[in-house]
Amino acid sequence: MNNLIEFFKNNFHHFVAAVLLILCFVLIGHSMSYSRYKIARICQSITMPVEKSWGKMIRQFNLSKENEQLLQQNLELLRKQENMFLTREDTTLTQMSETDSVHTTRTRLYDYTYAHVTFATTDKPFNYIIIDKGSRDGIDRDMAVLSPTGIVGVVSDVSKNFSSIIPIPHLDTRISAVIPSINQVGAVVWDGKEADIAYLNDIPQHLEINIGDSVLTSGYSTIFPKGLMIGTVKEVSTEQNATFLTIKVKLSTDFKNLDLLYVVKNLYRSELDSLKSNFKNE
Amino acid sequence: MNSTLTNIIRCIIALLLQIFICNYIHLFGFLTPAIYLFALFLLPTDLPKSVQYLIAFAMGFVVDMFTHTLGVNAAASIILMFARPYISNLMNGRKTIEINDRPMPAHKDFRWMLGFTFLLTLIHQTAVVMLETFSFRHFGKTVLVIIGDTILTVIVILSIDYLFYSQTKRA
């Protein structure tokens, strides 16, 4: 014990020097951003590969939760898009304000919810998709169904817990579509052959259409909001004695690999439908 | 008491010179003399070593505060203090060990003065520049800065020593 105390007494100055030096290095690390950055980078080059591969494995366990969160976030973003609203000038406010600015009010026209596919076919002439949400979740007939990459179809029948969807690959499909580059409205139909190819009808022959032009929903029906992706033009051809172009459209939705779907609700559909029912052809 | 006061005043003068004059000298764009080292060289050797370390740290710290390189000069000064007895032993060689190992022209010859100052300054400047650049890239330029700083500092410190400490009576 005495030896130990003696040792400390004799070497006290070394301890002082060591403590002061450590203090200096702490100060250097704290005050000088370049050395701090450099130290951090050296540490990172060692720990990064380990953390990366390990983190990948850890993330696998949280994927479903993360997926759910992303889904909610996506829904929020989708609900904020411009084509979800009816924009209208607020005439009283515009007249009352002294500046020249035009005041508008926005009314929500469409709302989103999501569902997962329980069953789907792609190889029949009258294909269908079953999703895991029904009337209990507020799904109703004639609602639009979207996938993350494009539109899918329309809800046809609803039970308590499930709904069936008529997808674009279905012989009765007829969706109002527009090619924005020429601003011409046509109808997308399916010919019963390949699940990822549809045809765009009613585009006159004199119009120039490029391969790769995108085909969007027109918003003329009460079902689909305006400006949603349907697909891209794959092939344009003219047939003899025809007044319209034959346009092959590559659908942007992969119908063989569907899982997550968004269901779009038109909040004013009954109002719009009551107007339309006055005409005999509806 | 008198010696203590002298040392304190010397340290303060060295710091003032360093902070207000030498920190603004950038010879050839990058050479700055570390003039405050002459006070550290002249610290009495019979002072307790822990006190020597504390003084070195305090002086380095004050210089760092004004150059915004917190810790660099302090660390280098502590290393210098650690190396000081070894360097003076090295310079003494086989001669009998003298009590007063301070670089004073009255007691030492020029060779001793030059070697002692040069080696310690080199150690100090190596520590400072390496801690500041913190990288082995552009190593040639780093070495150039170290040697240039060292030579400049040695010239300045030796001039001070020979100007003010040539007479025997000052301790």
| Chain B contact for A27 (CB, 8 A cutoff) | yes
Q: How far is A49 from chain B (nearest CA, A)?
A: 23
Average pLDDT over residues B16-30: 84
Domains of chain B listed by start with CATH number: 2-164 (1.10.1760)
| Chain A contact for B131 (CB, 8 A cutoff) | yes
pLDDT of residue B96: 60
> Hey, which of A76-90, A91-105, B1-15 has the most confident mean pLDDT?
B1-15
pLDDT of residue B171: 46
> Using an 8 Å Cβ cutoff, are A195 and A170 in contact?
no
Instruction: Give the pLDDT confidence of B76-130 residue by residue, as tens digits.
Output: 999 999 998 888 888 887 666 566 677 777 778 888 889 999 999 999 999 999 8
Same domain, A9 and A128: no
Q: Is residue A94 part of a domain?
A: no
| Chain B contact for A28 (CB, 8 A cutoff) | yes
Q: How far is B75 from chain A (nearest CA, A)?
A: 5
Q: Is residue A279 part of a domain?
A: no
> Using an 8 Å Cβ cutoff, are A219 and A194 in contact?
no
Structural domain span for residue A182: 110-266
Same domain, A155 and A23: no
* Residues of chain B numbered 39-58 and touching chain A (CB < 8 Å): 48-50, 52-54, 57
Q: Is residue A75 part of a domain?
A: no
Which of A254, A237, A259 minimizes the C-alpha distance to A168? A254
- Residue A48, sorted as left (phi over 0), alpha (psi -120 to 50) or beta, turns out to be alpha
CA distances from A280 to A10, A221, A275, A277, B28 (A): 109, 17, 11, 7, 94
Q: Is residue A71 part of a domain?
A: no
Contacting residues of A for B142, CB less than 8 Å apart? none
Same domain, A52 and A143: no
A50 class by beta-carbon count within 10 Å (0-12 exposed, 13-18 middle, 19+ buried): exposed
pLDDT of residue A155: 92
Same domain, A142 and A48: no
Q: Coil, strand or helix: which one is A117?
A: strand
Judged by CB atoms closer than 8 Å, whether chains meet at A28 and B70 is answered as: yes
Q: Is residue A226 part of a domain?
A: yes
Contacts with A272 (C-beta within 8 Å, 6 or more apart), sequence order = A222, A266
Q: Coil, strand or helix: which one is A217?
A: strand
More confident residue, B136 or B19: B19
Percent of chain A with pLDDT over 70: 98
Q: Among B72, B78, B135, whose Cβ lies nearest the Cβ of A20?
A: B78
Torsion, Cα A195 A197 A201 A206, to 10 degrees, reads: 180
Same domain, A122 and A226: yes
Judged by CB atoms closer than 8 Å, whether chains meet at A13 and B52 is answered as: yes
pLDDT of residue B168: 58
Longest dimension (CA), chain A: 115
pLDDT of residue A80: 82
* Residue A233, H or E segment: strand A229-237
Same domain, A129 and A14: no
Contacting residues of B for A34, CB less than 8 Å apart? 134
| Beta-carbon-side half-sphere exposure of residue B78 (alpha carbons within 13 Å) | 24
Q: Is residue A67 part of a domain?
A: no
Q: Which two tokens stand for residue B6?
A: 């002298």
**A139/A120 Cα distance (integer angstroms):** 18
Same domain, A121 and A50: no
Judged by CB atoms closer than 8 Å, whether chains meet at B57 and A26 is answered as: no
Same domain, A57 and A145: no
Q: Is residue A169 part of a domain?
A: yes
Residue A217 has pLDDT above 70, yes or no: yes
Same domain, A31 and A169: no
pLDDT of residue B170: 46
pLDDT of residue B54: 92
**A121/B94 Cα distance (integer angstroms):** 99
Residue A281 has pLDDT above 70, yes or no: no
Which of B135, B131, B133 minimizes the C-alpha distance to B71? B131
Residue A282 has pLDDT above 70, yes or no: no
Pairing of strands A229-237, A246-251: antiparallel
Instruction: Give the pLDDT confidence of A26-81 residue by residue, as tens digits.
Output: 888 777 777 777 777 877 787 788 878 888 887 788 788 888 888 888 888 888 88
**A28/A50 Cα distance (integer angstroms):** 28
Instruction: Give the pLDDT confidence of A190-206 residue by residue, as tens digits.
Output: 888 888 889 988 888 88
**A188/A190 Cα distance (integer angstroms):** 7
Same domain, A20 and A121: no
In DSSP terms, A242 is beta-bridged to none
Instruction: Give the pLDDT confidence of A111-166 residue by residue, as tens digits.
Output: 888 888 888 888 888 888 999 988 898 888 888 898 888 899 999 999 999 999 99
Q: How confident is the model at residue A280 (pLDDT cuts 50, 70, 90)?
A: low
Mutation target vs B (from A23, A28, A34, A38; most B CBs, 10 A cutoff): A28
In DSSP terms, A262 is beta-bridged to A114, A146
Q: Among A13, A31, A38, whose Cβ lies nearest the Cβ of B49?
A: A13
Contacting residues of B for A29, CB less than 8 Å apart? 71
CA distances from B162 to B38, B64, B168 (A): 12, 28, 12
**A84/A107 Cα distance (integer angstroms):** 9
Q: How confident is the model at residue B75 (pLDDT cuts 50, 70, 90)?
A: very high
Percent of chain B with pLDDT over 90: 35
Q: How confident is the model at residue A109 (pLDDT cuts 50, 70, 90)?
A: confident
Q: Which two tokens stand for residue B1?
A: 């008491």
**CATH number of the domain residue A134 falls in:** 2.40.10.340
CA distances from A215 to A57, A170, A178, A202, A222 (A): 40, 18, 6, 13, 18
Which residue shows structure tokens 């997962």?
A: A116
Structural domain total, chain A: 2
Q: Is residue A98 part of a domain?
A: no
Q: Coil, strand or helix: which one is A201?
A: strand
Same domain, A18 and A154: no
Contacting residues of A for B53, CB less than 8 Å apart? 13, 16-17, 20
More confident residue, A211 or A86: A211
Contacts with A2 (C-beta within 8 Å, 6 or more apart), sequence order = none
pLDDT of residue B97: 58
pLDDT of residue B163: 87
Residue B154 has pLDDT above 90, yes or no: yes
Same domain, A123 and A222: yes
Residue B133 has pLDDT above 50, yes or no: yes
